[in-house]
Amino acid sequence: MFTGLSAFPLTPVTGSGIDTTAYARLVSRLAAAGVDSIGALGSTGSYPYLTRAQRAEAAKIAVDAAAGTPVLVGIGATATSEVLALAEDAQNAGAAAVLLAPVSYQPLTDDEVFGLYEDVTRELSLPLCVYDNPRTTHFQFSDELHGRIAALPNVGSIKIPGVPADAKARVDALRARILDTVTIGISGDAVAAEGLAAGCDVWYSVLGGLFPDAARAVMRDAAESERLRPLWDLFARHGSIRVVAAAATHLGLIGERVLPRPLRELDGAARREVIDTLRQLNL
Amino acid sequence: MFTGLSAFPLTPVTGSGIDTTAYARLVSRLAAAGVDSIGALGSTGSYPYLTRAQRAEAAKIAVDAAAGTPVLVGIGATATSEVLALAEDAQNAGAAAVLLAPVSYQPLTDDEVFGLYEDVTRELSLPLCVYDNPRTTHFQFSDELHGRIAALPNVGSIKIPGVPADAKARVDALRARILDTVTIGISGDAVAAEGLAAGCDVWYSVLGGLFPDAARAVMRDAAESERLRPLWDLFARHGSIRVVAAAATHLGLIGERVLPRPLRELDGAARREVIDTLRQLNL
């Protein structure tokens, strides 16, 4: 299940909770577009801002709306006890796999992070994707640690952040540490083409969560990624979640208020810039 | 209430939740020692690892065990909606004040952090302490932002992290931005003496959460802080929460398993080093 295009939609959150209608619409659009999997409750899906009950609700909606497309559900939380509860909820909702980042408050040691994955995979009956995202977790995986974790039962994939200029060396170094059965997935949309060219098996994609056809165009032809540079620049400037939120609102797929507070939607000038960029890129 | 020694105890968390007996013991010891306030559910109190129900329970235990000593309750969470719920729970538990850090997952903008404090203080009937801790929140306050937030209703104190070598200049620069009614509190125990000498009004203290008399000795005589340097070095090496957990276990105040997973207690060599240091320092 951890290959191809994995599309990560927003979870629209208004003042009164999840906009369930809009959320189902976002997910079913992706299934209809034929993405390989759907990443519900990823970072773009605002998992760390939702209660356990809201996350269980969102997982169910996503699985229903995905209509057979495999759904990967984010189960990250600061406390291992909460992660275990979320794993159970994801399983009950019909998730095909789970996604787990070492969400931190106290900076974590390597042994603590290994212990987290050990404790969770011991209880798990679904495949797990290790989510490496230092921008939000502030934890830096070494390849040695990735190797230890990838050898745990049920680990099926590693979602890595952007790759450096020498993407091939980066992917090869990680590949040398892990079992053949574990895939490597690129996130950081701006360097996805480079990651895929360097041998990544899957793209865990924010772009694909709203514009699946545009993501597939990038997968076919790396030049498409170059063409989308103005969008990547906006992602870097405002955070991709704020940019895709503005885009989804502009497309009429979700309402005006869509991000969980304290996050704020882009205002005036920034929003106009997003809209102009979408037009310019025919998105 | 935001002056003097504010002592931040651990919240002992075992495999089955909060060890309520041990927690009440830790808090009542501090009240008996005559600290000026007790910081329940600070970073040392593991607030981000507990469920809403556990935090409400801990707040009630702390207020009871404090027997009249004012209790400051941490209400930080990633989502504003959760912070508001926690503020209500703290209020119902009898907290004298609340402590709020801009806990983040997506990196926050200044306007988002201001919006968080605006949304929370609007609903609040208790004084609030702004908790500035970039080590755990990864958010950097500017003094300009501190000034805007300090002007909101109910803001009574700012808990700053360590001070630089020129502590006086640091404290004066912040003081110039905020109302006279807002106190400045130092955390980062290793530089507390410097912070207090530079004009901080209160010490938000990890040391004081377990060794209140030793903390008061530091407040009376800055040379005491120099004497405790081996302890500060351990704090820097392992994180103060892991060191005070090992110390409290060694003193027989709490059990062997006390930190919420994925955090781990210090093992063999590190633990012996803590015990040796306590002996050497007569703690």
Q: Is the dihedral of CA A131, A78, A51, A124 positive or negative?
A: positive
Mean pLDDT of A120-135: 97
pLDDT at B1: 86
Mean pLDDT of A61-90: 98
Give the percent of chain B with pLDDT over 90: 98
- What does the mean pLDDT of chain B come to? 97
Cβ pair B261:A43 closer than 8 A: no
Select the residue of B49, B79, B136 nearest A261 (Cβ to Cβ).
Answer: B79
Cβ pair A49:B135 closer than 8 A: no
DSSP B100: E
Mean pLDDT of A5-16: 96
Residue of A nearest to B111 (CA): A264
CB pairs under 8 A between A and B: 87
Residue B116 distance to chain A (closest CA, Å): 5
B88 phi, psi to nearest 5 deg: -65, -45
Q: Chain B within 8 Å of A162 (Cβ-Cβ)?
A: no
Mean pLDDT of B250-278: 97
Output Rg (C-alpha) for chain B, integer angstroms: 18
Contacts of A8 in chain B (CB under 8 A): none
A218 contact partners, CB below 8 Å, separation of at least 6 = A192, A193, A203, A207, A224, A225, A228
Spatial distance between the Cα atoms of A114 and A252, rounded to a whole number of angstroms:
43
Residue B221 distance to chain A (closest CA, Å): 30
Which tens digit of pLDDT belongs to each residue from A41-67?
999 999 999 999 999 999 999 999 999
Strand partners, B6: B37, B204
- Residue A273 falls inside a structural domain: no
Q: Chain B within 8 Å of A45 (Cβ-Cβ)?
A: no
Place of tokens 């009542």: B28
Contacts of A109 in chain B (CB under 8 A): 264
For the cut 90, the answer to whether the pLDDT of residue B10 exceeds it is yes
Would you tell me which residues 199-238 of chain A have a C-beta closer than 8 angstroms to some C-beta of chain B?
A: none
- Residue B246 falls inside a structural domain: no
pLDDT at A179: 93
Residue A68 distance to chain B (closest CA, Å): 30
Q: Tally the domains of chain A.
A: 1
- Residue B46 falls inside a structural domain: yes
Residue of A nearest to B115 (CA): A262
Active-site position among A47, A117, A131, A204: A131
Spatial distance between the Cα atoms of B56 and A73, rounded to a whole number of angstroms:
29
Mean pLDDT of A151-179: 96
Taking alpha carbons only, the member of A201, A160, A194 closest to residue A180 is A201
Cβ pair A261:B78 closer than 8 A: no
Q: Chain A within 8 Å of B113 (Cβ-Cβ)?
A: yes
Residue of B nearest to A118 (CA): B262
Contacts of A53 in chain B (CB under 8 A): none
- Residue A231 falls inside a structural domain: no
Mean pLDDT of A120-140: 97
Amino acid at A142: S
Q: Do the annotations mark residue B137 as ligand-binding?
A: no
CATH number at residue B174: 3.20.20.70
For the cut 90, the answer to whether the pLDDT of residue B230 exceeds it is yes
pLDDT at B94: 98
Burial of B94 (0-12, 13-18, 19+ CB in 10 A): middle
Contacts of A106 in chain B (CB under 8 A): 43, 136, 239, 241, 263
For the cut 90, the answer to whether the pLDDT of residue B229 exceeds it is yes
Cβ pair B51:A115 closer than 8 A: no
Q: Which domain holds residue B212?
A: 4-220
Which tens digit of pLDDT belongs to each residue from A189-224?
999 999 999 999 999 999 999 999 999 999 999 999
For the cut 90, the answer to whether the pLDDT of residue A249 exceeds it is yes
Cβ pair B261:A109 closer than 8 A: no
Cβ pair A43:B106 closer than 8 A: yes
User: Which are the catalytic amino acids of B?
Assistant: 131, 159
Model confidence at B148, pLDDT cuts 50, 70, 90, reads: very high
Would you tell me which residues 48-67 of chain B have a C-beta closer than 8 angstroms to some C-beta of chain A?
A: 48-51
- What does the mean pLDDT of chain A come to? 97
- Residue B270 falls inside a structural domain: no
Give the percent of chain A with pLDDT over 70: 100
Spatial distance between the Cα atoms of B72 and B38, rounded to a whole number of angstroms:
6
Mean pLDDT of A242-271: 97
Residue B115 distance to chain A (closest CA, Å): 7
Q: Chain A within 8 Å of B119 (Cβ-Cβ)?
A: yes
pLDDT at A1: 87
Select the residue of B115, B138, B241 nearest A261 (Cβ to Cβ).
Answer: B115
Select the residue of A50, A79, A138 nearest B261 (Cβ to Cβ).
Answer: A79
- Residue B261 falls inside a structural domain: no
ipTM score of complex: 0.97
Mean pLDDT of B188-210: 97
Output Rg (C-alpha) for chain A, integer angstroms: 18
pLDDT at B159: 98
Q: Is the dihedral of CA A221, A226, A228, A231 positive or negative?
A: positive
Burial of B135 (0-12, 13-18, 19+ CB in 10 A): middle
Spatial distance between the Cα atoms of B159 and B150, rounded to a whole number of angstroms:
12
Spatial distance between the Cα atoms of A89 and A69, rounded to a whole number of angstroms:
19
- Residue B159 falls inside a structural domain: yes
